[in-house]
Amino acid sequence: MNTLVCKSPGLFNYEEKSIPDLKKGYVLVQVKRVGICGTDLHAYKGTQPYFSYPRILGHELAGVVKDHNGSSLCANEEEITILPYFNCGNCVACKSNKENCCVHLQVFGVHMDGGMCEYIVVPENSIVKSTGLNLDTLAMIEPFSIGAHGMRKAQLRKGENVLIMGAGAIGLGAMEYARIHGANVIAMEMDATRLDFAKKYLNIEHTIHPKEEDVFEKLKSITRNEMPTVVVDATGNQKAINNGLLYLAHGGKYILIGLQKEELIFSHPEFHKRETTLMSSRNANRVDFEWVIENIKNGNIHPENYISHRVKFKALKSVFESFYQPAAKVIKIMVELD
């Protein structure tokens, strides 16, 4: 089978590999769609934590079961996506229903080889059935779920002022959750195209372009001088993360969905006087996938609006670098393997 291997930061190679062998509790899936996310882009550039090379990237997947290997959880020729977070089931986190941050977690396409190939073998308990959703939509469920998981931790109140920094796919997914739960969402993003997308497709009324506007004054105006009671980082940018605390209301929650490799640097007095609740948000749980699927089916979320770029698998290597350019106006890249 054909695979695309990230040999080292900045270097992709196509390689022929054998179709992986099946073992008990695993199923064989033919990959049909792979969504490209910030994790893949950062891994290619060498700026993503938890990575070693060479690595086959790709964890936002949709495919068709080709050998269910006796599993009762799926059928041959069934279209599926997967929960790409393979957990041990026995550690302190797993026993607390926090398998998304398992001590021994193996994220598909991050800690282990992922889905930029024609066939994969995955644990049967990672399968998420299509229930009528198409392949493009199935490949979009995971990034929406990442945003939903982070916002679920916020325990939002209706009408609450929520600042979400970063309007990539994960940040937009967080905005979807906050919007559906009745929060007053404020989107902050350096890319005007993404801000326009949030306005047009998510009906986000309040947006901030930090290079063109005074962030503090705009937030004061929107919140009537109270400032947001929830601030969410979905940028994965160290400067943005370190500055985000300063935008938070007293008594508020600061949730880090984005990830970067360096230290968090906060003023302790600023952190302390707010009695800040600081939370990280890692991956997602099956309940988040189920929430996303429900809201796609009832028309609250429209994944088809997000796909800004399509590329055939055989052409991915030659165009991958172009996705970093602002002129590309990327929202979501969908790789097609059929």
DSSP states along 235-287: S--HHHHHHHGGGPPTT-EEEE-S--SS-----HHHHHHTT-EEEE--S--HH
Q: What is the pLDDT of residues 13-37, one digit of tens each?
A: 999 999 999 999 999 999 999 999 8
User: Tokens 């996705």 — which residue?
Assistant: 323
On the question of pLDDT at 325 being above 90, the answer is no
For the chain, give the percent of residues with pLDDT over 70. Answer: 100
Give 201's Cβ-side CA count (13 Å radius): 22
Superfamily for 154-280? NAD(P)-binding Rossmann-like Domain (3.40.50.720)
pLDDT of residue 188: 98
**Per-residue model confidence as pLDDT tens digits over 175-205:** 999 999 999 999 999 999 999 999 999 999 9
Task: Say whether pLDDT at 296 is over 90.
Answer: yes
Are the C-beta atoms of 237 and 256 separated by less than 8 Å?
A: no
For domain 2-145+284-336, which architecture applies? Alpha-Beta Complex (3.90)
Residue 218 pLDDT grade (very low, low, confident, very high; cuts 50, 70, 90): very high
For 193, list phi and psi in degrees, rounded to 5: -60, -40
Beta-carbon contacts of 187 under 8 Å, excluding residues fewer than 6 positions away, are 164, 167, 171, 175, 195, 198, 204, 206, 207, 208
pLDDT in the model for residue 328: 87
- Parallel, antiparallel, or unpaired for β 161-165 and 206-208? unpaired
Indicate the pTM of the whole model: 0.94
Residue 324 clears pLDDT 90, i.e. is over it: no
Query: Mean pLDDT, the chain, as a whole number?
Result: 95
C-alpha distance from residue 134 to each of 140, 166, 265, 288 (Å): 10, 27, 43, 19
Residue 36 φ/ψ, nearest 5 degrees = -95, 130
For the chain, the structural domain boundaries read 2-145+284-336, 154-280
Structure tokens at 16: 């022929």
pLDDT band, residue 166 (cuts 50/70/90): very high
Q: Which two tokens stand for residue 304?
A: 């088809």
Confidence of residue 326 (pLDDT cuts 50, 70, 90): confident
Which residue type, as a one-letter code, is found at position 191?
D
